[in-house]
Amino acid sequence: MSAFPHRHLLGIEGLTPPEVTALLDRSESYVEQNRRADKKKSVLRGRTVINLFFEASTRTRTSFELAGKRLGGDVINMSVSTSAIRKGETVLDTAMTLNAMHPDVLVVRHPESGAVKLLSEKVNCCVINAGDGSHEHPTQALLDALTIRRRLGRLEGLEVAICGDIVHSRVARSNIHLLAIMGARVRLVAPHTLIPAEAERLGVEVFHDMHEGLKGCDIVMMLRLQTERMQGNFLPSIREYFHFFGLDYDKMANAKPEALIMHPGPMNRGVEIDSVVADDYSRSVIHEQVEMGVAVRMACLELLSANLVEAPQHNI
């Protein structure tokens, strides 16, 4: 029986604590390997991974590419801007075209929530959701959890404040699910306009004051304003937003003295986080999150590929 008995990784919602733990434990084994001069393994030898990103990315796309290559797989980065999508081909036709070339894993990012799941129903290979709209970004939540677990030794019982543009954030949704599965408590801290309507149903506490929301917390996770997903006015001004919701030392003083500062990136310095705080490596683990991203994506590629039967079935 596989430690992660799923064909795809489309989200964190619905995973069990042992499944999350299995992914984190496997990721842990890759952290040291990635710090060695020789980073190569042959776990994915003969396997093909295609990165299919319909939205911009630095961290996720690069780390999936590194992860696949370090495991000995063949990795293709499909550039959407120079693909047949520019000639009117649909996302599903593109996916099925790639599928006909027998990839083993498709890593997909798409601006629409649910698009990656739809695509996964049309292909034979494994699909990993690299972020779909404001829905889920499962590997981000896993790398955040690995970072926290390595620093604080556990997830259970921690108080985690997720602050900023929650309503548009797939990172927030995946983290809310993962932290709940693993027994941490989540607070959302944001103006009313940036809190999703379903917040109460998610089993979190909601705060509209940063000083209150950060009191006694172990983790302060800051989020970028996702202006590309905003239709209409959500805030009076950036200046006012930074004053009330930007993370600085004054607001951080409410958290536990050893509390960690996290941010999935990309950061907008002076908007949701003060530059000095972001670069304070005694508290900020932002670069460590990026490092853990490669290890987590190696574990995901390995565990999902291990579930593949030797020859893909032609069922479409």
CA–CA gap between residue 174 and residue 160 (Å, rounded)? 13
Which residues 125-164 are close enough to bind ligand CP by CB under 6 A? 131, 140
Residue 295 neighbours by CB under 8 Å, 6+ apart: 27, 28, 30, 31, 34, 143, 146
The residue from 21, 33, 57, 113 that contacts ligand CP (CB under 6 A) is 57
By beta-carbon proximity to ligand CP, the closer residue of 131 and 138 is 131
By beta-carbon proximity to ligand CP, the closer residue of 73 and 138 is 138
Q: Does the footprint of ligand CP cover residue 124 (CB under 6 A)?
A: no
Q: Does the footprint of ligand CP cover residue 169 (CB under 6 A)?
A: no
Minimum distance from residue 292 beta carbon to ligand CP (Å) = 12
Q: Does the footprint of ligand CP cover residue 226 (CB under 6 A)?
A: no
Give the angle 125-130-135 at the CA atoms, nearest 5°.
110
By beta-carbon proximity to ligand CP, the closer residue of 103 and 293 is 293
Which one of 18-26, 96-104, 207-215, 259-267 is the stretch in contact with ligand CP (CB under 6 A)?
259-267
Minimum distance from residue 185 beta carbon to ligand CP (Å) = 23
> Long-range CB contacts (< 8 A, 24+ apart) of 177-180?
177/11, 177/12, 177/13, 177/15, 177/136, 177/141, 178/12, 178/15, 178/20, 178/141, 178/142, 178/144, 178/145, 179/145, 179/155
By beta-carbon proximity to ligand CP, the closer residue of 58 and 97 is 58
By beta-carbon proximity to ligand CP, the closer residue of 48 and 60 is 60
Q: Does the footprint of ligand CP cover residue 227 (CB under 6 A)?
A: no
The residue from 39, 118, 244, 265 that contacts ligand CP (CB under 6 A) is 265
By beta-carbon proximity to ligand CP, the closer residue of 33 and 57 is 57
Distances (CA, A) of 307 to 8, 64, 188, 310: 10, 19, 36, 9
The residue from 264, 285, 298, 301 that contacts ligand CP (CB under 6 A) is 264
Q: Residue 199 is encoded by which pair of tokens? A: 């917040």
Q: Does the footprint of ligand CP cover residue 58 (CB under 6 A)?
A: yes
Half-sphere exposure for 208 (CA within 13 Å, toward CB): 7
Letters for 86-115 (x = contact with ligand CP by CB under 6 A, - = none) are ------------------------------
CA–CA gap between residue 72 and residue 126 (Å, rounded)? 17
**What are residue 220's phi and psi, to 5 degrees?**
-115, 110
By beta-carbon proximity to ligand CP, the closer residue of 144 and 302 is 144
Which one of 178-186, 234-242, 262-270, 277-285 is the stretch in contact with ligand CP (CB under 6 A)?
262-270
Q: State the residues that interact with ligand CP by CB under 6 A.
A: 57-60, 131, 140, 264-266
